[in-house]
């Protein structure tokens, strides 16, 4: 997609953080934007702000873990703006915990948002992009945690690795149709992602409290997030990635050596596999 101006974008998790920053950058480039979020107050504030940038702004409540709500959001976007060209599947949450001790309900909640929310966005909007026949672009928000497994964040890591793999598949499958795909993999950004676990299902039970949840947050995470980069930088990077057709969108060159360590470990075991006569001709 060579230009964003005049196009229509749908952005989830748009009430704050990365979603709002991305929506702000798209609106600033002349896109109509449908803001979607589960938090009504943040959604209203985001809409009020962006209307000062561009008059083509609308909003709706949407729980991305519910495919019917995402379907309805897709229909509402087309009804409001006449089309949809850019889909930003950004909504996400994070929880931490020790292996084998994370409530399964919390696992399902996180996967329902971080992974299935992305899947639902693609399922609902891809038929629209295809029907329009004018191409389009899908952005899926993963994380550097989709390339580096950080201790203490197993559910988050698992969901983000899945989003990266899903996005890599989509890119290969949709390129012949003229539909671009980007996977956003930021490092530390100043958002409240580390506080989203306050809504995890287990906190509704008598066995876990908010203090328990905060105690499972890996040491130092709140501090590094507080000192992270400005979300506005990631918003601009995302808009530029859409216009240039970039696939991977990274934010922290300092994290590249950690991804190289993973690649080196894979190469080392492939060397061992190649040296094993049982597999040499496989």
Q: Which pLDDT score is estimated for 224?
A: 76
- Please state the separation of Cα 16 from the chain's center in Å: 13
Q: Which pLDDT score is estimated for 192?
A: 83
Domain boundary assignment for the chain: 8-251, 254-282
Given a contact cutoff of 8 angstroms between Cβ atoms, the answer to whether 22 and 238 are in contact is: yes
Name the one residue in this structure whose structure tokens are 């609308």.
58
Third-level CATH fold of 8-251? Rossmann fold (3.40.50)
pTM of the full structure: 0.92
Residues involved in catalysis? 156
Given a contact cutoff of 8 angstroms between Cβ atoms, the answer to whether 183 and 164 are in contact is: yes
Is the pLDDT assigned to residue 209 strictly greater than 50? Answer: no
Q: What is the pLDDT of residues 147-174, one digit of tens each?
A: 999 899 999 999 999 999 999 999 999 9
Q: Comparing 42 with 214, which gets the higher pLDDT? A: 42
Specify the DSSP class assigned to residue 80. H
Percentage of the chain beyond pLDDT 90 is: 82
Q: What is the pLDDT of residues 48-95, one digit of tens each?
A: 999 999 999 999 999 999 999 999 999 999 999 999 999 999 999 999
Is the pLDDT assigned to residue 177 strictly greater than 70? Answer: yes
Q: Which pLDDT score is estimated for 103?
A: 95
Residues 145 and 156: their CA atoms lie apart, in Å, by: 7
Is the pLDDT assigned to residue 109 strictly greater than 50? Answer: yes
């Amino acid at each position: 997609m060579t230009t964003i101006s005049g196009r229509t974008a749908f952005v989830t998790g748009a009430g704050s953080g990365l979603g709002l920053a991305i929506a702000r950058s798209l609106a600033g480039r002349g896109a109509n934007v449908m803001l979607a979020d589960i938090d009504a107050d943040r959604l209203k504030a985001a809409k009020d702000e962006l209307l000062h940038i561009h008059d083509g702004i609308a909003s709706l409540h949407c729980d991305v873990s519910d495919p019917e709500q995402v379907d309805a959001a897709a229909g509402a976007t087309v009804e409001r703006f006449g089309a949809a060209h850019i889909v930003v599947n950004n909504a996400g949450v994070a929880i931490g915990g020790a292996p084998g001790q994370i409530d399964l309900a919390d696992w399902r909640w996180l996967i329902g948002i971080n992974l299935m929310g992305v899947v639902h966005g693609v399922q609902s909007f891809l038929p629209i992009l295809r029907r329009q026949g004018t191409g389009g672009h899908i952005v899926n928000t993963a994380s550097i945690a989709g390339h580096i497994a950080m201790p203490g964040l197993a559910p988050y890591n698992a969901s983000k690795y899945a989003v990266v793999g899903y996005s890599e598949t989509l890119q290969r499958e949709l390129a012949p149709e003229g539909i671009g795909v980007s996977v956003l993999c930021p490092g530390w950004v100043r958002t409240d992602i580390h506080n989203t676990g306050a809504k995890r299902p287990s906190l509704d039970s008598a066995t876990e409290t908010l203090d328990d949840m905060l105690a499972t947050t890996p040491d130092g995470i709140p501090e590094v997030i507080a000192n992270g980069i400005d979300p506005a930088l990631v918003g601009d990077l995302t808009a530029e990635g859409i216009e240039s057709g970039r696939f991977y969108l990274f934010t922290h060159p300092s994290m590249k050596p950690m991804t190289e360590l993973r690649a080196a470990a894979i190469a080392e075991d492939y060397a061992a596999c190649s040296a094993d006569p049982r597999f040499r001709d496989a």
